[in-house]
Amino acid sequence: MEMICGRLEQIINEEVLEIRGDGRAGSGIVLTMQSIVAMAVEDPTLYVQEWPFFSSARKGAPTRGFLRLSRRPIEKSSEITRPHIAIMMDEGVTTAIDFAEGVPRGSIFILNTTLSPEEAASKFRLSGRIYTIDGDRLAQHFLKKPLGNISVFALLMELIPVFDPRRSRTRLEKILKKRRLPELLVKANGDLFEASLNQARFADCDYARPTDHLASPFGGYGELMPGAQSRLRLSRSNLTSAYARTGFVLQFGDSQNLCNGCGHCIINCPENIIQFHPDPEIGVRVTGADVTNYCKLCHECIAICPKNLFSEVRTAECWKVGPV
Amino acid sequence: MNSDSSICETAAGALYSNIINLDKVKAAHKPLAQEQLTCEADGNTAAAYACLQMWRCILFAGFPITPSTKWLETVATMVASGKCGTKKVKLLEAEHAVADYLAGAAAACRDLICATATSSVGLDHMTECTRSLGASGLGNVLLINVFRATANYPLCIEGDPSDTLAHRDDGWIQICCRGVQQIYDTILQAPCLGMHPEILTPVMPGYYGIKDSHRSSRLVVEPDAKVHAFQDRWIGPAKLPGLINGDTAMGNCVTSKFFQGFKIDQKRRMERTFELLPQIGADFEKTFGRSGLQFVERLYWPEDDVVDLAIVGMGPDIGTAASLIEKEESRRGLKIGVLGARLLTPFPRDEYSKRLKNAKAVLIVNQAHHYGAGHLTLDVTEACYTLKRRPTIVSCFAGMGGATLSDETWQKMMDHACATIGKEVKRIPPVIVHEGEVLWQS
C-alpha cells in the first residue's frame, strides 16, 4: 500500500493523476468523483477537474466519470484514455464497455465486486494492482440497497496520499447534506464510509495478454449508405439495449392474428427493429422485434399498438434470445 | 424607479414613479457570500452563483434543457430556500415564452437584470424574440447559453458551439468562456458591458455543454458587496425610461427607411464594445486579481507576438492544445502560440490582426459544423486579409458534437498546418479530424 501511495503522490506532484470510472447511471460514479473534488478544493495547492460522460439515456445506461488531480494547473480537458486508476463501479456495465480499455499495464484497478482480486483479474484479464471491495454488500447493510460508490470513495481516500481519510467522513456528509439527503441517510452513508475503510483486498496480478484492452483505433464511419443514418445508428459500438431496464425484455405475441397492419410500431420505433412482412390483406403484418442489441425498452411500441400486442416481461419469463 | 431623475413623463402626461424602488431592491438582497469563499462547483452552478449575487438580478425565467438545466435548478433551489432575498423564478412553458417574458420584464425596468440560461434548440426556439431583443437596446437581458449542437436529430447533449454561432447575427454580445472560474467571472462582468449606457445591447455569455457545464473544479466566490461595488461602477441608473415609465421599447412597426436606422444604431452601440470591454476587464482584474474580459485569451503566447504557427480555437479544448505546446515546439523546432477566442460578437478583428501579423501559418479549429471553411475561420481570415504578409490559413473541424479532442487529434492538425510553412500554398481545403485521423477533406 505504501509503495502505491508514494507512486501516486509523485504523479500528483510532478504530473497529473488521471482517474476514470465506469458505472451505470444511478450507480454513483459521479458522486464518488465529485466527492474527491470536494476534498481537493480544500487544499489550495491542489488542482482538480472532474466531469461525467453520459448519453441522453435514462437510469441504468452506462456512464463514465473522469478526474484529473495535480499540484500543477491543469489545462488539458480531453477525455482520459490511459488512466492511472480505473474504476469499475457496477459489474453490469462490463457487458457493454471495457472498463480496462487503454489502461497501461501496472496501473491500479478498483472493482466493486464480490470477487477476490485474483478472481477479478482472471475474469477481466487485468494486469496491475487490483483492489476489490464488496461495496454492494456493505451498502446493503447500511443503506438497504446495493450501491458501491461510498466504499469505492473510502478506498480512494486510503489510496490517494494527499487526502486525510479521517476528514473525509465529515466532508462526505457535508456533500450529501448539500444534496438535501435526509439526516438519517447522511449518517448511514457516513457509517458506511467508516465501515468500508480497510475492507478492500488487493493483489498484484498479470492476466492481460498483449492484445487485451488495447485502445481500439478509431476506424472512421465506413462507407455511408444513401440516407446514411441507419448504419451509424446501428453501429456496433452503440448497443442501445444496454440502456434497457435490467432483467426485463420486450415481448410480442399475436397468436390470434390481431395485427391490423397500422404500422404505428414500425414508424415509432426509434431503433428500427420491428420485424414485419407484406400482407395482401392488411398491408403489413408485424411479426416481432429484434431485441438482441438495440431494444432499450422505451415503450413506444407498447404505448402505440392499438391491439396491445407488445409487452414488457421479466427476462426469466422469456428465455428466447433473439427475435421475439 | 428609485430617484426623481429616472421618473419619466409619458407622451400622454402620465407619471409612473416608485413602481420599482431600486434602493429597496438593493436593500432586500441577501448576500450569498459575506467574504471570499472557495468551493467545488460545475459550470452551471458557477453561472447560477454569479447571477444570484447580483443585486439587480431579481427576475429569473427559464425552461429546462440539457445541459443548462442545472443552472435553473440551482437558481430555483437557492431562491426557494430564502437564502437570496426577494428574487423570483418563473418557470414557463417553453423557451419562446421565456424570451418574451424577459423582454417584457427587461423593458419594464431597464435597471434590473433579467436572466435565463438555455441551450441548443432552446435558443433556436427563442429566435423570434432574440432578434428583436438585439435591436431593442435592452442590455439588461442576460442569456447564458450552454453550447450544444442545434438539432434534435441526432440529439447530442455534449458541447458544440453551433447554437451560439447560428445566432451570431441576432445582435447580442457573445462571449465564450472556459473553466468554472472564467464562467463565474465573465457572468459578473457581462451586464457591465451590456447595460453600459453607450452599449445597451443584450449579452450572451456561453460555455460548452457537459465539457464545462458539468465539469467540477475549484471556484472562488467573491463577496457580494465587492461584486456590487464593481458592478455599480459600470452600471448606473438607466438614462432611458422603461415601459413602466412610458417608453415602448419593443414592438415598433417601421418602414424600411427606419428599419435601416435601427440596424445602424445597433451597430454603433455594439461597436462601443471594442473600447469598453478592455476597460471593464482591467477594472475586474484590479478589483479581484484575476484576468477580466479580453478579446482573446493568450493561453500560450509570446509578448512580442512572434510565432511561426498560431493556433486559434475556443472553449476547454484549447487548453489541451496549450498543454502540448512545450513538447511540440521542441519536437518541431518552431515557435507555436495558442489563442482562445473570448469575444465572438462583435468579432475583434483588429486584435486578431495585431496578434497574427507575424505568424507564418494560422491553424483555426472549428467545433461547429459549417458548410464553408468554418465560422471562426471566416472571421479570422478576414482579420488577416489586410496584413502585409498574410499567413497561410489552415482550417480544421474537430470536436463536432462535443467529441473529445485528443492529443493525437491536435498533433495531426498541427502536422497539417506545419506542412504549409515555407511553401507557396494558394488554398488549403478544410479537413475534419478525429482521434488523429483525417476523416474528411473537401
Q: What pLDDT is recorded for position B372?
A: 93
The residue from B254, B288, B322 where one domain ends is B288
pLDDT in tens, A68-80: 999 999 999 999 9
Would you say residue B337 lies in a domain?
yes
Average the pLDDT over B353-382 and give the result.
97
Confidence of residue B2 (pLDDT cuts 50, 70, 90): very low
CATH number at residue B374: 3.40.50.920
Q: In this structure, what C-alpha cell is assigned to residue A252?
A: 410480442
Are residues B173 and B134 part of one domain? yes
pTM here? 0.88
Handedness of CA B316, A162, B42, A189 (dihedral sign): positive
Residue A324 pLDDT: 47
3-state secondary structure of B340: strand
Residue B65: per-residue pLDDT: 96
Taking only the tens place, the pLDDT of each residue in A280-316 is: 999 999 999 988 888 888 888 999 999 999 998 887 6
Residue B10 confidence (pLDDT): 47
| Residue B8 confidence (pLDDT) | 45
Are B363 and A115 in contact by the 8 Å Cβ rule? The answer is no
Which pLDDT score, from 0 to 100, does residue B85 have?
A: 85
User: Quick one: B72 and B169 in the same domain?
Assistant: yes
**Which of B288, B321, B351 is the endpoint of a domain?**
B288
Q: Are residues B374 and B280 in the same domain?
A: no
Residue B8 belongs to some domain of the structure: no
Structural domain contains residue B9: no
In a domain, B7, yes or no: no
Query: Does residue A102 belong to the interface with chain B, where contact is any CB pair within 8 Å?
Result: no
Rounded to a whole number of angstroms, the distance from the CA of A62 to the nearest CA of chain B is: 15
Domain count, chain B: 2
Residue pLDDT, tens place only, A230-286 = 545 544 556 677 777 777 889 999 999 999 999 999 988 888 889 999 999 999 999
What would the pLDDT profile of A33-65 be if each residue is shown by its tens digit? 999 999 999 999 999 999 999 865 566 678 899
Whether residues B280 and B311 share a domain: the answer is no
What is the distance between the alpha carbons of residues B46 and B182, in angstroms, rounded to a whole number? 9
In a domain, B5, yes or no: no
Handedness of CA A266, A272, A276, A279 (dihedral sign): positive
Point out which residues pair with A253 in neighbouring strands: none
Q: Is A57 on the interface with B (CB under 8 A)?
A: no
Q: What is the pLDDT of residue B240?
A: 66
Cis before residue A165, ω within 30 degrees of 0?
no
Domain ranges across chain A: 2-206, 229-317
Q: Is residue B201 part of a domain?
A: yes
Give me the residue label for grid cell 475474469: A123
Same domain, B368 and B393: yes
Interface check A227 vs B, CB under 8 A: no
Examine residue B6 and state whether it is found in any structural domain, yes or no. no
pLDDT given at position A314? 82
Provide the shortest C-alpha distance from residue B382 to chain A (in Å). Answer: 29
Q: A127-133 and B114-119: which strand pairing?
A: unpaired
Structural class in CATH, domain A229-317: alpha beta
Nearest CA in chain B to A221: B439
> Among B261, B288, B315, which residue terminates a domain?
B288
Please tell me the least confidently modeled range out of B4-8, B101-105, B319-323: B4-8
pLDDT of residue B1: 38
Shared domain for B282 and B307, answered yes or no, is no
Q: Which residue has the cell 470510472?
A: A21
Q: Do A37 and B39 touch (CB under 8 A)?
A: no
State residue A166's pLDDT score: 83
The per-residue pLDDT for B313 is 98
For a pLDDT cut of 70, what percent of chain A falls above it? 89
CATH number at residue B159: 3.40.50.970
Residue range B304-329, pLDDT digits in tens:
999 999 999 999 999 999 999 999 99
3-state helix, strand, coil in chain B (%, to 5): 40, 20, 40
What pLDDT is recorded for position A244? 72
For residue B210, the chain A residues in CB contact (below 8 A) are: 51-53
The domain made up of A2-206 is a member of CATH 3.40.920.10: yes
Query: Does B174 fall in a domain?
Result: yes
Q: Indicate the residue of B42, B156, B211 with minimum beta-carbon distance to A77.
A: B211
* pLDDT single digits (tens) B255-292: 887 888 888 989 999 999 999 999 999 999 999 999 99
Mean pLDDT across B368-387: 96
Mean pLDDT of the residues in chain A: 88
The domain of B391 spans 297-441
Contact B436 A51 (CB under 8 A): no
- Predicted confidence (pLDDT) at residue B63 exceeds the cutoff of 90: yes
CA torsion B215-B221-B227-B231 (nearest 10°) is -10
Question: Average pLDDT of B40-53?
Answer: 98
